[in-house]
A and B are shown apart, each in its own frame.
Chain A
Amino acid sequence: DIQMTQSPSSLSASVGDRITITCRASQDIRNNLVWYQQKPGKVPKLLIDTASTLQSGVPSRFSGSGSGTHFTLTISSLQPEDVATYYCQKYVSAPLTFGQGTRLDLK
């Protein structure tokens, strides 16, 4: 099975910082990668599909890139409401594995 590895597992940053979260697949998954945001006590929310397509209503400070085995989620200017755990998920062939998550909080 293809493994999904996120880094870092957690990070603290200041408002306005540029944030990058990495997700690596153990095999080529082309662009079949999605990102979710889960705020504390809330249900996960789909942010980005096919590695780089922003879902409707998601702020433009979020962006995704990558293909194959290396993917990134970038927040261009961190806002307080972005405090959350972020998960990547591969979306080609079961199992639809999630990364272990990256917990983002404010300094």
Chain B
Amino acid sequence: QVQLVESGGGVVQPGRSLRLSCAASGFTFRTFGMHWVRQAPGQGLEWVASIRNDGSQEYYADSVRGRFTISRDNSRDTLYLEMNSLTAEDTAVYYCAKDWNDRGFDYWGQGALVTVSS
């Protein structure tokens, strides 16, 4: 069965960096695009970034462009999100999600909580 397991969340000071990982299993990772979505406490879903199956193209929300970098290692079946210059507005649960043939996100991880606070 498909599993997505995020790790790397935690409490970080404003201006610092953090890297999230998402370990995938149960499907052929290298054949699917992947995404990061976040949800601030009590708020709605916000798309953060996407990456094509082969890593050839990346896409970012305006709110994170230039600060966050999405990447993947298809040899390790792992997705990453490098987050720099973090602010309190980046506090959220970060979900990785699998692409469903360009028709939505069909599997989601359980999420990693990132808290930006001094």
Contact = CB atoms under 8 A, between A and B. Distances in A.
Interface of A: 1, 34, 36, 38, 43-46, 49-50, 53, 55, 85, 87, 89, 91, 94-101
Contact of A43 (B60, B61, B100, B111): B111
B35 A49 contact: no
Contacts of A53: 103
A7 B103 CA distance: 22
- Determine the interface band of chain B, counting residues with CB < 8 A from chain A: 20 to 34
Given A95-B61, A96-B35, A89 B47 contact: yes
Lowest 9 CB-CB distances: which A-B pairs, in order?
A94-B59, A34-B104, A49-B103, A101-B44, A43-B108, A96-B47, A98-B45, A49-B104, A46-B104
Nearest to B107: A46
B34 to A, nearest CB: 12
A87 B45 contact: yes
B103 A50 contact: yes
A96 B50 contact: yes
Nearest to B63: A95
Interface of A is mostly: loop
30 contacts: A34-B104, A34-B105, A36-B45, A38-B45, A43-B108, A43-B109, A43-B111, A44-B45, A45-B108, A46-B100, A46-B105, A49-B100, A49-B104, A55-B106, A87-B44, A89-B47, A89-B104, A91-B102, A91-B103, A91-B104, A94-B50, A95-B62, A96-B35, A96-B50, A96-B59, A97-B47, A98-B45, A98-B46, A98-B47, A101-B45
Nearest to B101: A49
A10 to B, nearest CB: 12
A85 B43 CA distance: 11
Nearest to B103: A49
Interface in B38-57: 44-47, 50
Contacts of B37: 44, 98
A85 B104 CA distance: 17
A36 to B, nearest CB: 7
Contacts of A45: 108
